[in-house]
Amino acid sequence: MVLDQKQTTIAYRCPECGSVVRSIVGVFSLTADMIKLKCPCGGSSLDIVYTNDKKIRLTVPCFICPSPHSYLLSTSVFFDRDIFALSCTYSGIDICFIGKEDEVDKAIAENEAELHELIGETSSINELSSMRKRENLTDPQVLEIVSYVIKEFEEEGNIHCKCKDGGKYEVQIGDEYIFIVCKKCGAEIKIPAGSVSSAQAFLERDEIILS
């Protein structure tokens, strides 16, 4: 009799310290009531439960939201995919990666680049972790809506500043505001981000003019 030695690599980014936490999970280890993949900082853990109907329930800490997200996967998805990502319900950003070790490492690198694009080149991922804890930006819809509008405006060429040949823009996160700043001329705009209603008002703009 040949025993099934299926295993997979699972990884997430700790919302408290910003570190990537990864581990190999084998099919036999799922016979336990619960597996906890804990960050060494002690600030978070990813929980894995093998359900009675032979599915896998994951509770994943979110780097964007103040609360974790829950997912239910089949064992085939969990063990047989080269790479599979679980996304934040609100922002769409991938927060957990499952699959072959090299594919997981590749996905983490791409995810880190996506996070840097979201928060601006001059910010660090640890700063995004700190931002998540700020009282005025705890609602993930605020960051999601404003970030989406900014990205759309930039792709459509509807962000303008003093630069005649076009500016170079970055997003900076404050306690109650999101700033768009031109790195070439220094022009900026301050966008209220303390409530969903303020984000919706911003959504009605046709263009963004920095001054």
pLDDT digits (tens, 9 = 90+) for 87-108: 887 777 899 999 999 999 999 9
- Position 144 scores a pLDDT of 66
Structural domain contains residue 128: no
Domain count, the chain: 2
Structural domain contains residue 129: no
CA distances from 196 to 52, 145, 146, 179 (A): 40, 8, 9, 17
103/159 same-domain check: no
pTM of the predicted protein model: 0.59
* Structural domain boundaries, residue 41: 7-119
49/140 same-domain check: no
Dihedral of the alpha carbons of 120, 161, 184, 145, in degrees to the nearest 10: 0
Q: Which residues contact 93 (CB under 8 A, 6 or more apart)?
A: 63, 64, 87, 111, 114, 115, 118
95 touches 62 (CB < 8 A): yes
Domain edge (last residue) among 86, 119, 152: 119
Structural domain contains residue 160: yes
* Average pLDDT value for the chain: 79
Query: At residue 98, what are phi and psi to the nearest 5 degrees?
Result: -135, 135
In tens, the pLDDT along 136-170 reads: 444 556 666 677 777 788 888 888 998 988 888 88
Domain edge (last residue) among 69, 90, 119: 119
Q: Which residues contact 4 (CB under 8 A, 6 or more apart)?
A: 27
- Position 172 scores a pLDDT of 75
| pLDDT tops 60 at residue 131 | no
160/75 same-domain check: no
Strand blocks (E) in 27-125: 35-38, 45-50, 55-60, 69-74, 83-87, 94-99
Structural domain contains residue 99: yes
- Position 136 scores a pLDDT of 44
58/145 same-domain check: no
| pLDDT tops 70 at residue 61 | yes
90/11 same-domain check: yes
Domain edge (last residue) among 70, 88, 119: 119
108/138 same-domain check: no
11/97 same-domain check: yes
